[in-house]
Every structure is written in C-alpha cells, then in structure tokens.
Structure 1
C-alpha cells in the first residue's frame, strides 16, 4: 500500500442504494458482536415507530436479500443499509483503524455523519426514517433510477433529446457512469432509447427517485423534523460528494441533509479531490463492494478494500472482512484485534494475548451460541421468557422423582444455587436462566466454575466428588441443580431421579405402554444414526454436545437428520410451529422422539 503524509490513514466509504449484502451481514454477525450491538440500538427506534425489530428481519436462518427488503416497507431497506455501514465502521475502529476521512454516497452520508459522532445511532435511524417517509409521501413509489454507461455530459444530452423535465441527473459515479432519476414512465423511455443507441443501461434497486428537483417541496418539512436533534462534534472529517466540501463543525446538519433531496451526488469529483489531497487507501464500510468498484473506475493508483461483502469461491461465499482486517494490520493501518472490550467483559483475568488466542479458536462457537440464544429470546412469547423449557421447575414443595422428607425439591435446589452463583459473581439473578451456558455466555471460566460448584456442594453438605467427575457435563445451572438434587437424594437414602439421559434398559419413560423403546434405547439409536450420516465417531455425540456450535452441523443438515431419525421410528411429520432451535443437543432430540413415541403409540392403542 502507498500513502502520503496528509492521508496516511484510510478513507472510509459508506454506500447508499443497493449497498447491502445479506449473506455477508449474517456471516459478520456470527463472528463480530459489534453487528448485533448496532442493530439492537436501531431496534429500539423501530419498535417505537413501527412496532417491530429490524433485527428479526435481517438475522434469520436464511440470509435476507436486498430484493426481499425492497418488497417490505420502504424504511426497512434504508435502515438495513444504514445499520450495516455503522456496524462495519465499529468493527474497523475497534480493530484500531483510524480513518482520515469519512465519505457517504447518498444515504451513506447520514451513516458517515453518525459514524463521525454528529448524531447518536438512534437519532441517525430517526433521520433515515424521516427521510424515507418524506420521499415516500412525495414519490409514492412512482419513481425509479437507472444507471447509464455514459458520461454526465452525454447523459444530459440524452435528457435534452427526450425533452422530459421529469428526468434529472442523480449521481455522477465515474466518467463512464451516470445515474438518472425520474418517474417510472420516463425511466422506461430512457431504457428504450439507450437500447437503440447501444448504451449500457441498468435499473437500480431503489424504492424511489432520489436526488430529484421534484423533492424540493418536502425538504423543508424534513429539515424541521430533524433540525432539533442533538448533535455532537465530528470526531473525523466528513466529506460530502453532494456539497463538494467537508462539513463544518458549527453548521446545521439537518438543513444540509435536506439539501440532499434535490442535489446530485458527484462521487467522481469527490474521489478526484481526495486523491489530490493524498488519499491512497479506500475501505468500503458496507455491502457488495459497490463503492470500491467505482473508486477503481475513477482512480487507478489506489488500494481498495471492502468489509461487508462476500467473495465467491466455487459454490461458497466467503466474507471478505477477515482478509481486509489482516491486510490493514499488515500495513499498520489497524493496530488492534477488536477484542479488548470483549476481554474486559468476558475474561478480565486473561491477558490480551491469551484472550486473542482463546477467541481465535472458540470465538465463532461463542458468537453462534449467543446469536442463537438471542434469536430464541426475541421470538419467545413475553410470558415464556425465563420459563424452563426442559422441565427443571416444578410446583413449590414438589419432590422430584419421589424424593423423601429432608430433601429439598428440585425447584428449591435451583433457586438456592442461583442465589449462590449470583452473589459470588455479583451478577443479577435474572441472568442465571436454567439453560444459560456459564462459560460461553456468562464468561465464567472453568476454574471459577469448580470453585462455585464446590461452594454450592458444601452449602448442601455434600461430600467431595470422584476424580472422574466431568465439569464439562454440567455447563448450565439447570444441570448443576439436577446434579445436586440427585446427589442429595442418594445421600439421604431416597430415590432421586438420574440427571442424565440413560435409564435402566427396558424402562418405559413417562408411562408409555409396551412397544415403546426406552429413553436409553432411543438415545443410542439416534446417536448411531447421526454418527453414520455425519461420519463422526459415536463418542463425540455426548448427550449435551451442541450440534451446531460444537460439531458444526448447520440447521439444514440438522433438519435432514432429525427427519431421518423420525422416519426410522415411524413418527409422523411435525407441526409447522416446531422449533429446531429448542433441540440443539442429542439429549433433547432423544427426549423429543421418546415423548412423541409414547404419545403416538398410546394414541394408537386407544383408537
């Protein structure tokens, strides 16, 4: 890479219309917590204004495409592009990137101002919503935009030939590409003439006709709606391809953003100016590498990198972000690994070097776990949040497995353990839900877990455990409560229920009648089926191993395997509301199948 004294650091570019790559955003969210953090802040706004969280649309099993967003409400695609740009900026800066300037393309200029500190993330989202609503009221979805493979001068000549005042130059991207904005009927005529002239012409994925003189009537109302939002100083210079200058610290940003409605984006001129000033490295903080391709058309002697886009490798799509960060680190433009804030929260006892090594090997698993738990939390009914799915809680005073007098109930054991852990770790009790993973989700390392389990065992008067005891089998408070309750039953001479999946051979769980295999037999059969299909040794399929996070079995493959196991046992298809996320271990899958077998065969016997 090359550079000059004045612009030794990279210029960050924020895309506008079309700058969204759903697959890249999903992959980044799996490995970089900054992505979810940004969109959670945007969600607080969209819940208030539209009664829904944007994250639920963007983060799902199958990555969302821009075409799908454009079929949704107009604000959805706009905020998705805005949020992706901010997430990319946060990832870069938390990896030590210190941009020399920020540049936005159309909508991206709002992103750039927020990234610079001019507005909060939430107020930036409000500005995007106000902008979209104002244009929608005027445009009503009747406008369109088209990119012509022609210079601005030639494009204006074409407008003159059509004699259509509804057409306007919206963007000057590079010497051989100009974007027109106008009514759909006029844009259709442009496309027809361009075809006759042999001029390349592509309609853009845009919901409205942006940067058009017809929007002048709604600009004042927009300015009034955002003018009083609190603004902060711009910590990084922001250059406007629309205004053709840097923003001043003391000017009204709301009024300047209103000017965007009618003025064109002169991106090619902006790149030429910044290059003259010494800029040599441009990094696109957004999706699809749209702006870096434009930079290449405008400037040949610069380096171009992108963040939230994917690279096709055969049939796979690889996120470019890791390679971009590696290149920036190699040249000294990124001085950190982005993990310091995570280290302080999750493992403050580790050094930065130790945590970096830890995160390199396990970060993707932890991120996947957190994202799945967040998804389950968001989609669960409010009255079900915090409820125990696998059944550890029982009516107060009930003795699990017939435990006799003197043995606290399973519910009482769980409540006591929860209080002990919360007090020792100085966490609110609310975070200790039954299934929360102590290390992966709460950052409680194995040494601390041993200490806490010993403290809880001493509280209940339990003796030390055998040397072959495996802490890894008890990674949640649910399992720890099971363990202690079971041990209390054995210690006091009563029949506490085993905590594992295994039961005596031939036992019928849940009172199922003859012909129903035992829970142990179901587990063994499922284990064999999964091992054979995945070509893994059976030993790796322990009851609590997480299929996706620990074994890398994606959701599509899990659906296939569960269907295969169900067919083996002759079970009918499940209802449409079945949630695969509730069955992420072989333990839970065996529970599910055994429960269904019991109900299915009892139902058949009574028919």
Structure 2
C-alpha cells in the first residue's frame, strides 16, 4: 500500500540510505528536479537526515520539495519491501497522491515520469488562482459529516475520503473548513488538520485536473508488473485506466474502506504499509479486522529488521490466489 501526503517524515529512510534501491530512487528524483528554488534541500537529504524540516515547515517553504519527498519516500520504501518480500506481492494500492507512487512501483511509469508529473502539477497548482483551502481528518462517520456540512452552511466542504467506518477526511476552503472543525469539536469528535497545500479530492481543482489529464495523455504508460487497485474500488489495467488513477487525487473522492473490502473478497489477506507512520495499516485494521497487516517502516530500521517484520506476517504462498 502506497500512502499519500502523510508519508513524508524527516529522515525516514536514514537507516536505508546505503541500500542500492533506496539510493537509486533518491538520486533519480533529485537528478530530474533541477528547477527547485535556490537553497532547497535535496530530496535525498530530506529523507536521510533526521533534522530535516518537518511536514508543515517543508510544505510552507518548499511545496514542490514536500511533494517530491513524499513520492520518493514511498517509491523507495516500497521498492525495498518488494525486494525483501519476494514474489508473494501480487498487487499495489495507492492512497490519494500515493497513486502516482503506486504506478511507479508497479512499473507503469518511471521515476523520471513521476517527477515530471509532480513538477507540472506544482506549476498548475501555483498558477490556478485557488482560494486558501485544506483538509482535515475526523473520527466522525460519513453520515454525521454530511449532516454537519448541511446544517453548518458549509456547502463548499466535501467528504474527500471515506477511509474507515469511523474516519473521514474533509476538504474545502479554509473559512468553511474551520467552521466545520469547530462544530465537530463541539460534538465531541477528534479533528486533525492535515499537512496539505490545498483541498485535494475537491471540485476546486477541476481546471488543474483537466490540464493534468491533458499532460497524462502524452505520457507513455507501460504494462504494470503488479496489478494496480484503486481507492475507487476497481482494478486499473489499461493505459486509460492507469492515467485516470494518476489524476484521481485532484478531484475524485476516495472510498478506501470499499476498496479494501473488494480486495478482501478477492482473496487478499495481508496488507503491507510502505509508509513511515503505519497510517494505512491502521485503516486496514479498522476496516478488515480479520486480515493481517505489516508496517515494516513504522520505525526507522535496517533491511534485516524489515525482513523480520515481513516474515512475521507472511502467509503461506499459494500461487494465483493473490495472498498479498
């Protein structure tokens, strides 16, 4: 599983910096992003130095750097996990902008393409004249959130993601989002403002989405080596489907809990989180209590410890049954 914006953590890959697959990904991302602002830390340093800027600080100072570091962290970590887990991994699932990392891990696009797409997306977001907007996570369920949106007069707020039975993400203009946050807190709900440069999964980004899709139509898409599942709850196999998946985080709402149930029905029993905070594995536990999860990078460790963590949840391999 390839997480999105929550995947950036300063120095998250510091114990893996000497692993060839990690070094190769970090070097490639920095090599293909020559136009970042003067003085910006290379992505390789952001992910291997513990005192690198935190998510909020990096997002304020260098939004493109934040995007590239998030992408590089997931691609590098997932590549290591694939190497250590071996042929038992049958499919990849992206979450939000993690879809682009998932397509890279699956082999549908190259790291160079991924960086190019993020650079163009950065330019589109900077020049779109968007209002101040953001995203919050809450433990309210979708029904409760929808009722509050109506009663609070915050019609521009949308449910951006249904992540678990009692976890949704809301997106919208800052003023309306703040009003809804207060209502949620008054109702006894937990609310967490996410590190996000704008309201992803929201109609505000409609024009950015159209331009980004136009760029994607010019990109060659390879046949993925791993099956790609989307948070829309279906498989993406054709070039058109894979391009749609790469742009979905801009305007399309997510239904992770539905996608996970579909995967479970298809026979997938073990879910590996390639992020540093075990965010997606926690959502799997909430949605699929009977399935096994692993978050081998939940703390910074070396390759051998990661191998041990993977082995602890490895199911018996039954070819063709999609165990992982």
Q: Aligned with 2:271: secondary structure?
A: strand
Matches of 2:223 and 2:149 in 1, distance apart? 41
Alpha carbons 1:145, 1:206 under 8 Å: kept: yes
Aligned to 2:82: 93
Q: In structure 2, what is the equivalent of residue 47 of structure 1?
A: 34
Could you tell me how far apart the structure 2 residues matched to 1:284 and 1:102 are? 10
Task: Kindly state the Cα deviation for residue 282 of structure 1 after the two structures are TM-superposed.
Answer: 0.7
Show the counterpart of 1:328.
310
Q: Does 1:19 align with 2:20?
A: no
Q: Distance in 2 between matches of 1:292 and 1:259?
A: 22
Structure 1: unaligned runs, 5 residues or longer: 1-12, 311-317, 336-607
- What is the Cα deviation at residue 57 of structure 1? 4.0
Per the alignment, residue 228 of structure 1 pairs with: 218
Q: Which of the residues 215, 229, 234 maps onto 2:205? A: 215
Q: 1:176 to 1:96 in 2, by over 3 A?
A: closer
TM-score, normalised by the number of residues in structure 2: 0.88
C-alpha deviation, 1:254, in angstroms = 3.2
Alpha-carbon contact 2:14-2:50 (below 8 Å) kept: no
**Structure 1 residue 144 corresponds to structure 2 residue 134:** yes
Indicate the residue corresponding to 1:62 in structure 2: 51
Q: Which runs of 4+ in 1 moved over 6 A?
A: none
SS at match of 2:214: helix
Give distance in 1, aligned partners of 2:35 and 2:146: 43
Q: Match of 2:176? A: 186
Give the 3 Å change call, closer, same or farther, for CA 21–193 of structure 1 in structure 2: same
The residue that corresponds to 1:119 in the other structure is 109
Aligned residue pairs total 314
Question: Which string of whole-angstrom CA distances, capped at 9 and with x for unpartnered residues, describes residues 265-300 of structure 1?
Answer: 111111111111111111111221111111111111
The yes-or-no answer on 1:270 pairing with 2:259 is: yes
How many Å apart are 1:146 and its aligned residue?
0.9
Helix, strand or coil: the match of 2:33?
Answer: helix
* Structure 1 position 202 matched with structure 2 position 192: yes
User: Quick check: 1:325–1:334 contact (8 Å CA) kept in 2?
Assistant: no
Q: Report the aligned-residue RMSD.
A: 2.4
- Secondary structure in 1 matching 2:290: coil
Structure 1 residues 54 and 239: alpha-carbon distance in aligned structure 2, compared to 1, 3 A threshold: same
Per-residue deviation at 1:252? 5.5
Q: Deviations over 1:217-276 (max 9, x none)?
A: 2211111223212221111111010x3211023425334433432111111111111111
How far residue 165 of structure 1 moved from its aligned partner, in angstroms, is 2.4
CA distance in 2, matches of 1:295, 1:27: 26
Is this contact kept in 2: 1:328–1:334, CA < 8 A? no
Q: 2:240 aligned with 1:251, yes or no?
A: yes
Q: CA deviation at 1:197?
A: 1.3
Summarize the alignment of residues 396-435 of structure 1 with structure 2, pairs less than 5 Å apart. none
Structure 1 100/199 Cα, relative in aligned 2: closer, same or farther at 3 Å?
same
Q: Hey, what's the Cα distance between the residues in 2 that align with 1:130 and 1:307? A: 32
Matches within 5 A, 1:327-476: 327-329=309-311
CA deviations on 1:23-48 (whole Å, 9 max, x unpaired) are 4322222x523222101001111115
Q: Is the 8 A contact 2:230 2:245 kept in 1?
A: no
Report SS of the residue matched to 1:83.
helix
Aligned residue number for residue 499 of structure 1 = none
Over 3 Å counting, the alpha-carbon distance change for 1:174 and 1:320 in structure 2 is farther
